[in-house]
Structure 1
């Protein structure tokens, strides 16, 4: 599958206005021919163009719609948490101590593994004399003076959780002509027709509908300049303008448009430029929360 424009207006024909964008995204490829003319003669190219404009599974699409269940859950719980740990930091804890009979500052300092000078300074003592029953605050250096909970979460989850990757991002053999090599602009996730497709991250739906060789498609705008595209769907379950959370069921797997079988074609853009979806799926963000002292082991 070739690339669909997400920069300005959507094009019904995914072969238009994308050559320049992909060439910029893959400048390292040097002087390779246009991505829409990769190792193909004009007659073959015309045939591929025709397929992408019209799709090749039109006779199957009505069957797919009847196969796909209408009873979809609204959300599928997919945890984005990669790790959840508690990190301890050393520091000073203040412990209260009531002076007992025969106590001296030296004895108290030794029992708390601290120094007399530190006790006197913290309690504003001008002498070493102590009174029975006097309350002192003892500054104690400990390894676990404070703690934070550090949670790492994925920015994006796999949009078809129980799927198999059948084609990755990059150059590959043309599925319609084994003698051609083409650039695959997304990640293909094979699953049965009707399998729920979820939003890979929170965002706003900015396009739904038929889009040339991509068939029934959904495009979602996310924070920090990311957009995701979900293509070849048998059904679309969200509307333009809808805000969706991660895990929201937005569509069902199908084979609409130009597809060799039932699968979801998943693309990711960053600031209008195509990126490898697996790179996005490996991104994480960190959340740090200070824990109250009651949650610190030993205190």
Structure 2
């Protein structure tokens, strides 16, 4: 059965465009069109008369560059995939500096069985003398969901779902490169990983992303073997990271947020396998 897929997103579409040739032959009956636009210009996308339309000079230029058109007719496809434009992970992690859920509560850890003070000491360094508000796990969850629901990706997904019955998927931006640990050791992300909370915080992020678009889109998580400590992407996938405008060359070696074609190929194959189920 043939499958027509449209991928629309921000600059993270570049890795998928770079990776598609490596897996295309495995899916001869699948066609994929990709449209991407940079950063805040994603906000200039809207849905009208069954079409995703680029409404600004920047989004028009990049839609033409990446997909060859300024608009996407939803009924021309069997699946729509929205890439990136979700909650920024560094911003989400910084929430923990002002809101302290139970797993980050040093007083609870201090009274836990075993009396190991190392987690308490690491938490003290994490908060750096600040006094965050203690919140329940439920309140923390709702806070993160609310932030995810306000993202450009969630807004576009709501518009698509209101205009079409075509299945929609959301492929969030990759987790930052594992080089974050060396280049930004004091960041909240690096500190969370250092305390062993990477997988736990990752679960919170995925729950928020999935809950924000539940009933409108299926969220696709990356394969676990791409990740380090559940919260970072192995640096082999950030080396030679792709740009939407290939004439600008690849990203610098210290790029933390964008990935290369190898990442795109693995994620695309994972995505197609998920759609086949």
TM-score of the aligned structures, taking structure 1 as reference length: 0.21
> Which structure shows the bigger proportion of residues in helix conformation?
2
Larger-Rg structure: 1
> Which structure shows the bigger proportion of residues in strand conformation?
1
TM-score of the aligned structures, taking structure 2 as reference length: 0.22
